[in-house]
Amino acid sequence: MPDQRDPAPYDALLLLSFGGPEGPDDVVPFLENVTRGRGIPKERLKEVGQHYFLFGGVSPINEQNRSLLEALRKDFAEHGLDGLPVYWGNRNWAPYLVDALREMAADGRRRIAVLATSAYASYSGCRQYRENLAEALATLRAEGIEPPRVDKLRHYFNHPGFVRPMVDGVVKSLAELDESVRAGAHLAFTTHSIPTAAADTSGPVEAHGDGGAYVAEHLDVARVIAEAVREETGVAHPWQLVYQSRSGAPHIPWLEPDICDHLEERHAAGVPAVVMVPIGFVSDHMEVLYDLDTEATAKAAELGLPVRRSATVGADPRFAAAVRELLLERAAAERGLVVERCVLGALGASHDLCPVGCCPARAPKPAAAGADSPYT
């Protein structure tokens, strides 16, 4: 067995996330950061701004990342990795990625592992983070600072530390349903809708079918969770993968059905209850709090359909342990060892380096930490 407890060559971990507003004055500038050059209709932005104002202009995402940081530091300390500092930087709001990298360079970090708070393949969840990294590295170089080399950890959608806490969440949500509807409940696995064109280029359609790797990975996780729930409860709850949080112009096709339409359709079909399982998200941030807990839950109430929304992994200690395992696994691989990779489901472990041209952007930009990224 190779030693998978040695973090070398890494001297730090960077938690790379989306960022969110922390007060009413942050909302508009935050949305401007998110949507710069993305062609989202003004009406949609106004509407999304309202979602944030409904919660006092505060997204829970930053607080959730602070909790995850704490969980990671605790886990590292308990497993002999006290010497491995954890930093945090966001794409769209403070603390910004470029500042985190500047701090890491100033602290003498030379080679870092990056964990993005996005578990699946896709432009938004993977390449866009790699573009953000490339841009931040270029900024540092322009300032005359030699940045650390960055390696992005593999997609962890099928890591047991990501999946198992969600299984517990579904079992708990089912238990909260009234006994009269529990056994007949359906599971609605939800994720962020993206344009079908973006899904098809998230990983080869020839290998994964329509929807590319993005849809295939979600279906794989959904199947694993549904099966694990069946083992625990003895009931095979019917399930479907559905979508939420669609934006973009109406004439552009995005992944469907939407969760609200799905609830309506299930209700009409006589399904007595639904558990919404947000497998596409790492924490209970605004997409979960508004689109599921507010909008879809109101829709269900209007229909008279009992629903529950199960928990995301958040700062679950099993997820923190998974991050440590991902880092140590990659570290060993970078040291040239043959490594054991923890995975569930049928797809196997995702690549360490994104293949050339994977999940392309509309306008090509430099992206760090891929097979097509020079480490200079």
Ligand X SMILES: CC1=C(CCC(=O)O)c2cc3nc(cc4[nH]c(cc5[nH]c(cc1n2)c(C)c5CCC(=O)O)c(CCC(=O)O)c4C)C(CCC(=O)O)=C3C
Q: What is the chain's length?
A: 376
Q: Is 319 helix (H, G, I), strand (E, B) or coil?
A: helix
d(CA 13, CA 75): 13
Residues 2-21 that bind ligand X (CB under 6 A): 18, 20
Q: Which does 48 bind (CB under 5 to 8 A by kind): ligand X, Fe ion, none?
A: ligand X
- Prior bond of 364 cis (ω within 30°): no
Beta carbons of 138 and 366 less than 8 angstroms apart: yes
Q: Which residue is nearest to Fe ion (CB)?
A: 126
Structure tokens that stand for 282 in this block: 């790492």
Q: Which does 241 bind (CB under 5 to 8 A by kind): Fe ion, ligand X, none?
A: none
Contact between 350 and ligand X by CB under 6 A: the answer reads no
Q: How many residues bind ligand X (CB under 6 A)?
A: 25
Report the run of H or E that residue 198 belongs to, with start and end. Answer: helix 196-200
Using an 8 Å Cβ cutoff, are 79 and 322 in contact?
Answer: no
59 lines the binding site for ligand X (CB under 6 A): yes
- Token pair recorded at residue 1: 């067995």
C-beta closer to ligand X: residue 174 or 367: 367
In 3D space, the residue among 311, 296, 240 whose CA is nearest the CA of residue 271 turns out to be: 240
Nearer to ligand X by Cβ, of 38 and 141: the residue is: 38
In the complex, least distance from residue 286 CB atom to ligand X, rounded to whole angstroms: 3
For residue 274, give the H/E element and its range: strand 274-277
Q: Does 124 bind ligand X (CB under 6 A)?
A: yes
Asked if residue 350 belongs to a known ligand binding site, the reply is no
Q: Give the chain's end-to-end CA distance (angstroms, integer).
A: 33
Nearer to Fe ion, 58 or 199 (CB): 199
Q: Measured between alpha carbons, how far is 238 from 89 in angstroms, rounded to an integer? A: 39
Residues 6+ apart with CB under 8 A from 206: none
Among Fe ion, ligand X, none, residue 74 binds (CB under 5-8 Å by kind): none
Residue 87, annotated as binding a ligand: no
Among 279, 286, 354, 358, which residue interacts with ligand X (rule: CB under 6 A)? 286
Binding-site string for ligand X from residue 242 to residue 261, where x marks contact by CB under 6 A and - marks none: ---x-xx-------------
Q: Which stretch binds ligand X (CB under 6 A): 105-113, 116-124, 319-327, 338-346?
A: 116-124
Distance (Å, rounded) from C-alpha 134 to C-alpha 369?
A: 8
Binder of residue 354, out of Fe ion, ligand X, none (CB less than 5 to 8 A by kind): Fe ion
Pick from ligand X, Fe ion, none: which does 359 bind, CB < 5 to 8 A by kind?
Fe ion
Which positions touch Fe ion (CB under 5 A)?
126-127, 354, 358-359
Dump the DSSP string for 185-214: -EEEEEEE--BHHHHHTSS-HHHH-TTHHH
Binding-site positions for Fe(2+) read 192, 287
Interface with ligand X (CB under 6 A): 18, 20, 31, 34-35, 38, 40, 44, 48, 59, 61, 117-118, 122, 124-125, 192, 194, 245, 247-248, 280, 285-287
